[in-house]
């Protein structure tokens, strides 16, 4: 008796995107993460200008950006599938650039909150639209996802480094103006170099290239959402709190905000390289086992960071971010493996809405938790969350034995294995 397995075509029907288009899609990922972290990097300066005694009291005003980043992914994904991914990427570039320029004009915390929320609204477009567009034609999805993840996390590094220097030289408003202009310039380039893409994926009449039994698809979607939610909470806690943690625990060693930003940027750049390695491994190693190993390695580094200071903290944070960034490509790899291209943007949008909607609580809780307890309690709690992620990954469809051929045997193969089936 035969069973259905995830099936993908041997090769895309069209050639890969032109290099200029791939570069712009990766550039957009870097911008996406950069914009979401400008506020967290500049919050101390903004809080002082707006009359707040502590930066922690201003942090909740940024929660709207991360809430909409998740919630708006649903309509963004639907429009990507049914209207067109190229059109939505143009909305992304020009929308997020304009929102950033608007935020730079804020005269108080509520105007700032509105501007940040608009940034989150337009930032929500990239993940359900840009990544499916990027992998739509690729022949090596793991490698493509890994490089794309590197680009995104270089945006995280740029937020720490660029924002720190812009705040120090020209003030926090410049930290929103310069990236805003860069996004608008990217939109102009994308309009020029990315031509019409044909019918929207959701309106094509071609037969599906990926088929998975409903129960296995539901299980995979649950794991994607649960693991993504807990992983996104860790990502938000760290990337939004690392600047303040380094500042606090390097007191008396390094007191220059620009140097703190440079240290953090170094951590992010080095850690980002992990995604390229993981992307390479995804094409060759069983997805479930690799994912579980990466998540499990986060726990000891989080516990070490919880009790460290000075250069020991630098080493511990580097370990944390290496394995945290290394876990990011897996969600996109699972979507490529288990979900057909015709509905990928919608599935990604729904998954992001739930996971980032939950994880936006991390931004809201960060300031109050640190103010009420400490970074030690925060990072200990994150180790517990990582343990929860590991348990979720264990539920991913996978092989129970090598001797029995079943639908779950093939579901646990490397991503390249799926793409070789037809």
Residues 31, 96: contact at Cβ < 8 Å?
A: yes
For residue 288, give the CATH number of its domain.
1.20.1250.20
Q: How far is CA 56 from CA 59, 80, 259, 359, 389, in A?
A: 5, 37, 21, 18, 27
25: pLDDT confidence band, cut at 50, 70 and 90? very high
In terms of C-beta density within 10 A (0-12 exposed, 13-18 middle, 19 or more buried), how is residue 246 classed? buried
State the Rg of the chain over Cα: 21
Average pLDDT over residues 86-98: 95
Domain span at 411: 19-196+211-417
Q: Is the pLDDT of residue 346 over 50?
A: yes
Look at the pTM and tell me if it is higher than 0.75: no
Distance, in Å, from the CA atom of 298 to the CA atom of 379, rounded to the nearest integer, reads 11
Q: Tokens 């170099």: give the residue.
A: 193
Model confidence pLDDT, tens digit, residues 282-304: 878 887 888 899 999 999 999 99
User: Tens digits of per-residue pLDDT, 252-285?
Assistant: 787 777 788 788 888 888 888 888 888 888 878 8
Query: Cα(210)–Cα(336) distance, rounded to whole angstroms?
Result: 9
Per-residue pLDDT at 220: 75
- Total structural domains in the chain? 1
| pLDDT (0 to 100) of residue 4 | 39
Going by pLDDT thresholds of 50, 70 and 90, the confidence category of residue 6 is very low
Give me the torsion for CA of 39, 262, 228, 182, rounded to 10°: 60
Asked if the structure places residue 12 within a domain, the reply is no
DSSP structure string for 394-405 = HTS---S-SSS-
Q: Which two tokens stand for residue 156?
A: 């995280």
Q: pLDDT tens-digit profile of 115-153?
A: 999 999 999 999 889 888 888 777 777 788 888 888 887
User: What is the Cα–Cα distance from 358 to 345, expressed in whole angstroms?
Assistant: 20
Where do the DSSP E strands lie in 84-162?
A: none
- The whole-number pLDDT of residue 409 equals 40
Which among 6-15, 122-131, 206-215, 231-240 has the top mean pLDDT? 122-131
What's the average model confidence in pLDDT over 7-12?
A: 38
CB 407 within 8 A of CB 213: yes
Task: Name the percent of the chain lying above pLDDT 90.
Answer: 23
Q: If you count them, how many residues does the chain have? A: 422
What per-residue confidence (pLDDT) applies to 213?
A: 63
- What pLDDT band is residue 349 in, cutting at 50, 70 and 90? confident
Residue 301 lies in a domain: yes
Residue labelled with tokens 């939610």: 229
Residue 147 CB partners (closer than 8 Å, separation 6+): 26, 275, 276, 279
Whole-angstrom Cα distance, residue 267 to residue 318?
5
- Would you say residue 363 has pLDDT above 80? no
With a cut of 60, say whether residue 399 has pLDDT above it: no
pLDDT at 101 over 80: yes
Alpha-carbon distances of 138 from 18, 265, 333, 340, 352, rounded to whole Å: 11, 30, 12, 14, 22
Residue 397 falls inside a structural domain: yes
User: Which residue, among 62, 52, 45, 164, has the nearest Cα to 113 in the 3D structure?
Assistant: 62
Residue 4 lies in a domain: no
Percentage of the chain beyond pLDDT 70 is: 84
Q: Is 204 domain-assigned?
A: no
* Residue 10 in domain: no
| Residue 85 is assigned to a structural domain of this protein | yes
**Residue 2: inside a domain:** no
Retrieve residue 79's tokens: 């429009």
């Amino acid at each position: 008796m035969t069973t259905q397995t995830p099936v993908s075509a041997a090769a895309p029907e069209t050639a890969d995107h032109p290099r200029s288009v791939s570069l712009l899609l990766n550039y957009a990922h870097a911008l996406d993460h950069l914009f979401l972290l400008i506020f967290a990097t500049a919050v101390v300066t903004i809080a002082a200008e707006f009359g707040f005694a502590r930066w922690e009291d201003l942090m909740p005003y940024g929660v709207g950006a991360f809430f909409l980043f998740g919630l708006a992914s649903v309509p963004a994904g639907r429009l990507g599938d049914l209207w067109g991914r190229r059109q939505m990427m143009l909305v992304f570039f020009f929308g997020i650039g304009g929102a950033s320029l608007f935020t730079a004009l804020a005269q108080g915390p509520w105007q700032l909150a509105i501007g940040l929320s608009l940034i989150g609204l337009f930032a929500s477009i990239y993940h359900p639209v840009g990544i499916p567009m990027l992998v739509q034609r690729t022949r090596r999805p793991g490698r493509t996802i890994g490089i794309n993840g590197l680009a995104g996390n270089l945006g995280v590094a740029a937020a720490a480094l660029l924002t720190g220097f812009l705040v120090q030289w020209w003030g926090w408003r410049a930290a929103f103006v310069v990236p805003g202009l860069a996004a608008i310039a990217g939109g102009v380039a994308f309009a020029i170099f990315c031509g019409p893409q044909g019918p929207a994926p959701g309106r094509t009449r071609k037969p599906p290239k990926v088929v998975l039994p409903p129960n296995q698809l539901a299980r995979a979607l649950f794991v994607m959402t649960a693991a993504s939610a807990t992983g996104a909470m860790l990502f938000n806690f760290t990337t939004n709190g690392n600047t303040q943690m380094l500042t606090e625990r390097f007191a008396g060693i390094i007191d220059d905000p620009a140097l703190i930003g440079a240290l953090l940027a170094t951590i992010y750049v080095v850690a980002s390289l992990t995604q390229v390695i993981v992307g390479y491994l995804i094409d060759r190693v069983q997805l479930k086992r690799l994912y579980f190993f990466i998540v499990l390695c986060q726990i000891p580094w989080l516990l070490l960071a919880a009790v460290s200071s000075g250069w020991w903290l630098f080493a511990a944070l580097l370990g944390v971010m290496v394995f945290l960034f290394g876990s990011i490509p897996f969600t996109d790899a699972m979507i490529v493996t288990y979900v057909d291209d015709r509905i990928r943007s919608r599935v990604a949008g729904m998954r992001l809405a739930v996971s980032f909607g939950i994880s936006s609580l991390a931004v809201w809780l960060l300031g109050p938790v640190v103010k009420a307890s400490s970074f030690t309690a925060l990072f200990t709690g994150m180790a517990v969350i990582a343990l929860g992620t590991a348990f979720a990954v264990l539920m991913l469809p996978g092989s129970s034995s090598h001797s029995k051929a079943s639908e779950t045997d093939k579901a646990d193969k490397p991503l390249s294995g799926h793409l070789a089936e037809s």
